Amino acid sequence: MSDYQIRLKAFDWLEQQVQIHGEVLPRKLLLEGFINNGEKVSLISPAQGIFKPRMMVLPLSITTSPKGPYEDSFREDGFLDYKYRGTDPYHRDNVGLRATMKEQIPLIYFHGIEVGKYVPSWPVYIVGDDPSSLSFKALVDDMNSILQPEIAVVDEDARRKYITTNVKVRLHQSSFREKVLRAYQSQCSLCRLKHIELLDAAHIIPDSDPQGKPEVTNGISLCKLHHAAFDSFIIGLTPDYKIEIREDILEETDGPMLQHGLKELHNKKFVLPTNQNQWPNREFLDIRYNKFKGSNRV
């Protein structure tokens, strides 16, 4: 199987894993990889950021570790800065990435949001090389760039910058979710449901608000039902960490979900993180609670 075919197989395998596990993948899974012609193909290196499996000619992936030695970052102009390996522009890993740029060969980018947890983006292209800053410039694309290369694009860089900017937003959201769920020990703060695939990190102050920073103190772990109810102001959370259910909902008569899933939570305390420094910001809760009270009508 050719280098390019292995690359496409890696993309397909990643798509399957994201469908199974969600967009945050564990490092162990990426190290295990998949089997190709009886040989294991890892997608990430145990030690370095630029990774080329033994059976391939050019690098398959680049990785930013959450606590790595390099300061890779998304730039204001939409590009991703990816640092050289070391300071030698002619290190074989840097030479390999330069070759993918010349031939416009797609890569996978793994962004570490927590130790041992990565969000993959693909295909990613190296589009610039700056020896003075010991870094490459990269942009994310979509699979149509591979599956339908014959389609002409008027401004390919603009399209890729737009996709890369959306990836940056997605990475921030994934990082926020991981930190909040970890603080709440991967359970809904209201009903204690522990199925992580059914949990969200809800913002107290929306992320569209200048105060709505992606910090644990502006978040709370909620199951999807209670997240939707919180966003719809059916549920209010007081600055004293109590749950309130909107008055008209309390007066409704419906099935067991309404009774047990919502009404019985009224006036109960919600679960808080063990670390008091990660408790919801009382000022933020007060702002949100006042909006809830404004919607609380019979």
Picking from 156, 179, 202, the residue at the C-terminal end of a domain is 179
Inform me whether the pLDDT recorded for 74 exceeds 90.
no
Q: How confident is the model at residue 153 (pLDDT cuts 50, 70, 90)?
A: low
**CB–CB of 120/108 below 8 Å?**
yes
pLDDT 10s digits, 17-32 = 999 988 999 999 999 9
In degrees and rounded to multiples of 5, residue 73 shows phi and psi of: -155, 155
Between 272 and 143, the more confident residue is 272
Q: pLDDT band at residue 151, thresholds of 50, 70 and 90?
A: low
Bridge partner residues of 145 (DSSP): none
Taking only the tens place, the pLDDT of each residue in 192-221 is 999 988 999 999 999 888 888 889 999 999
On whether both 145 and 87 belong to a single domain, the answer is yes
Average pLDDT, the chain: 91
Q: Give me the percent of the chain exceeding a pLDDT of 90.
A: 71
User: What residues contact 226, with CB distance under 8 A and at least 6 apart?
Assistant: 188, 190, 191, 235, 261
Could you give phi then psi for residue 58, rounded to 5 degrees?
-125, 160
Same-domain status, 246 and 149: no
Strands 80-83 and 243-245: unpaired
**Are 131 and 22 contained in the same domain?**
yes
Q: Does the structure show a pLDDT above 80 at 295?
A: no
Query: Count of domains in the chain?
Result: 2
Single out the residue of 13, 38, 36, 35 nearest to residue 25, CA to CA: 13
Q: 257 with 171, same domain? A: no
Domain boundary among 128, 160, 179: 179
pLDDT value at position 298?
44
Which regions of the chain does DSSP assign to beta strands (E)?
Answer: 25-26, 34-36, 39-41, 50-51, 61-64, 73-74, 80-83, 107-114, 117-130, 135-140, 199-203, 219-223, 235-237, 243-245
| Segment among 43-52, 72-81, 101-110, 224-233 with least mean pLDDT | 72-81
pLDDT band at 296 (very low <50, low <70, confident <90, very high): low
- Tell me if 31 sits within 8 A of 46, measured CB to CB: yes
Confidence of residue 121 (pLDDT cuts 50, 70, 90): very high
Judge whether residue 1 has pLDDT over 80. Answer: no
CA distance 239 to 210: 20
pLDDT of residue 180: 97
Structure letter (DSSP) for residue 25: E
For residues 48-74, average pLDDT:
86
How confident is the model at residue 221, as a pLDDT?
98
Q: What percentage of the chain carries pLDDT values higher than 70?
A: 95
| 168, 204: one domain | no
Single out the residue in 144, 159, 179 at which a domain terminates.
179
What range does the domain containing 133 cover?
A: 3-179
Whether residue 195 sits in one domain with residue 101: no
In this prediction, residue 68 carries a pLDDT of 64
Residue 2, pLDDT > 90, answer: no
Quick one: 131 and 156 in the same domain?
yes
CATH of the domain at 46: 2.30.280
Look up residue 273 and give its amino acid. P
Q: How far is CA 96 from the centre of its chain?
A: 27
Per the CB < 8 A criterion, the answer to whether 36 and 54 are in contact is: no
pTM to 2 decimals?
0.81
Cα 53 from chain centroid (whole Å)? 25
Q: Are residues 141 and 218 in the same domain?
A: no
Q: Are both 143 and 248 inside the same structural domain?
A: no
115 and 199 belong to one structural domain: no
Residues 173 and 190 in one domain: no
Q: Which residues are CB-contacts of 176 (< 8 A; sequence separation ≥ 6)?
A: 201, 214, 215, 219
Average pLDDT over residues 77-85: 91
What does the alpha-carbon distance between residue 9 and residue 105 come to, in Å, rounded to a whole number? 14
Residues 167 and 194 in one domain: no
